[in-house]
Amino acid sequence: MSVEIRDVMVDKVITIAKDATLEEAVKLMNEYEIGCLIVMENKKPVGIMTERDLLKRVLSKSKQLGKKKVTEVMSENLVSVSPQIEIEEAARLMYEKKIKKLPVIEKGKLLGLVTLTDILRIHPQIIRMYKIFSSDLAPRRMKKVLDYYLLLQNEPKDLDLDHTVLLRTGENKTTLSE
């Protein structure tokens, strides 16, 4: 059985007008906890703006960066795990804390980093667990990763298909281009 793009795509895409300000774009990205916006002109897609675009083309050239300290913008209260923790427990912790990246630390020494994508890629049972337990309560910033991996797996027989569609489609469309 093949999977078509239409079966895994998110169809409620957040867009922005080509002439919108970066401030408006950042507000939208923060509001919807997303990493990109499709840029529209005359109701047609003409580009994409990503977090990486902001880093490379705006932040890296900002004169303010030399004045700001990492401590001013970092997330505090670091959530981490030991290398012996089971994958299921790490995934549960990420879900509970609404995080996608988890440093692996032992005796105060940083050993590595595991991401939600890493876990979902190698551990299909967690995908099934999220299908059953996440419902529409999953944090939006985790949703794109969850949606992608959830929809590529076979559906459990007892899962309501409407629930899966809700996970895939997410929120209502909001644009600044209309």
Provide the pLDDT for residue 129. 57
pTM of the model: 0.58
Q: What is the pLDDT of residues 46-71, one digit of tens each?
A: 999 999 999 999 998 998 888 888 89
> In this predicted model, which residue has the larger pLDDT, 39 or 128?
39
CATH code: domain of residue 14: 3.90.1280.20
In a domain, 74, yes or no: yes
Give the full edge-to-edge strand order of the sheet including 36-41: 15-17, 36-41, 44-50
For 154, the domain range is 5-169
Domain count, the chain: 1
